Amino acid sequence: MSLEHRNKTRLTKPNEKISCILAPNPSPMTFKGTNTYIIDNGELAVIDPGPLINEHFNNILDLVGGRQVKYIFLTHSHVDHSPLAKKLSKNLNTPIYAFGGSNSGLSSTMLSLIENGYDSGFEGIDYEFYPDQTIINNEKFSLNGEYISAIHTPGHMGNHICFQYNEILFSGDHIMGWATSMVSPPYGDLTQFMNSCRMLQKKDFKMLLPGHGDPVNNPKDRITFLINHRLERETQIKSAIENGPLTAIEITYMVYTDIEPALIIAATRNVFAHLIDLANRGKIKFLGPLSENTKVSLNL
């Protein structure tokens, strides 16, 4: 039975050359699930194999239909995007292309946080992942006379890459329509994230195809909204410390006034991401070692 017959809602066609298969891994972090994309212009490329779930693996194989796949691309190595890559690569005899493993592309600040024992949050880093072929920024891959270009967009993760195909950008978890992107140190870096957003804001795309949720048909507006959203949060954080030094957790309780207790840890990481970014830009300083429990003050 074909994929179309088995589950109509899992397959969508953003355009005539692109299919999207929705993985069955819905959650508050992944929305309806991970989007696996297949470009078919006569040759085939897979973007983001997704989680290690048999049903999803079979759905991808159904769509490929025994044809040769030229590339398996990965936007980044979170556990909802990368674990199926290896199995798919073996089955299809296709190499995996990505920026690098989970530590690649990180700033020296974030690498030293890792060295000092500050680990990831609940976002799920795929520590096992490593590509067969590493990609560099602006590298181009030919596909039946057309090109797929890699754009390094660190921030959500240091190894995050968006893929441009004609006027479409596969935006991974960097820019999505359903939610703002999570930026959780040490693998997430807000300074990098904002730089990546501003770099993409200058480009003209017709449509974004994100790692979760529906296509984004107004890319510039969405990117501008996300940048402004972060700047508003930054203003709140700076005004919280106007009256004296505070830690990330103290700021979190001041800024997120009606947050559910379960979300406090994630919110604190977000505030910590902002504080590191503000310190990188010389706006604030940590009054001790870089940590969530160290007070920060404005740099006047």
Minimum separation from the CB atom of position 152 to Zn ion (A): 15
CA distances from 109 to 49, 104, 158, 196, 276 (A): 30, 13, 12, 18, 9
Residue with tokens 């493993």: 101
Among 40, 48, 126, 173, binds Zn ion (CB under 5 A): 173
Residue 91 gets which letter from DSSP?
A: H
Tokens in use for 226?
């996300």
Q: Which is nearer to Zn ion, 51 or 278 (CB)?
A: 51
Question: Which 226-285 residues touch Zn ion, going by CB under 5 A?
Answer: none
70 or 156: CB nearest Zn ion: 156
Of 51 and 215, CB closest to Zn ion? 51
Both tokens assigned to 64: 């490929």
**Looking at beta carbons only, is 35 or 59 nearer to Zn ion?**
35
For the window 128-167, what string marks contact with Zn ion as x by the rule CB under 5 A?
Answer: ----------------------------------------
Least distance in angstroms from the C-beta of 262 to Zn ion? 20
Closer CB to Zn ion, 159 or 247, in the complex: 159
The answer to whether the bond into 186 is cis (omega within 30° of 0) is: yes
Q: Please, what is the minimum distance in Å from the beta carbon of residue 202 to Zn ion?
A: 24
Looking at 35-125, which runs of residues are DSSP E strands? 35-40, 44-47, 69-73, 96-98
As given in the structure block, the two tokens for residue 12 are 């969508």
Contacts of 243 (CB under 8 A, 6+ apart): none
Complex with Zn ion: residue 70 or 152, whichever CB lies closer: 152
List alpha helices for 93-129, DSSP H: 108-115
Comparing C-alpha atoms, which of 223, 230, 227, 179 is closest to residue 204? 223
Closest distance to Zn ion from the beta carbon of 159 (Å): 11
Complex with Zn ion: residue 173 or 234, whichever CB lies closer: 173
For Zn ion, which stretch binds (CB under 5 A), given 7-15, 66-74, 130-138, 171-179?
A: 171-179
Tell me how far, at minimum, the Cβ of 181 lies from Zn ion, in Å: 8
Minimum Å gap between C-beta 281 and Zn ion is 25
Q: Which stretch binds Zn ion (CB under 5 A): 172-180, 227-235, 240-248, 287-295?
A: 172-180
User: Total residues contacting Zn ion (rule CB under 5 A)?
Assistant: 2
Stretch that binds Zn ion, among 53-61, 99-107, 131-139, 168-176 (CB under 5 A): 168-176
Which amino acid, 234? E
C-alpha distances in angstroms, 19 versus 10, 37, 45, 219? 10, 6, 11, 20
- Report the candidate in 229, 219, 159 with the shortest Cα–Cα distance to residue 189: 159
Nearer to Zn ion, 188 or 219 (CB): 188
Report how far residue 282's alpha carbon sits from residue 300's, in angstroms, rounded to the nearest whole number: 10
Closest by CA to 131, choosing from 159, 100, 152, is: 100
CB atoms within 10 A of CB 224: 13
**Which residues face 22 on adjacent strands?**
35
Q: How far is the CB of 210 from Zn ion (least distance, A)?
A: 10
Q: From residue 75 to residue 114, what is the string marking binding to Zn ion with x (rule CB under 5 A)?
A: ---x------------------------------------
Does position 48 interact with Zn ion (CB under 5 A)? The reply is: no
Q: Are 271 and 252 in contact (CB under 8 A)?
A: yes
Residue ranges in contact with Zn ion by CB under 5 A: 78, 173
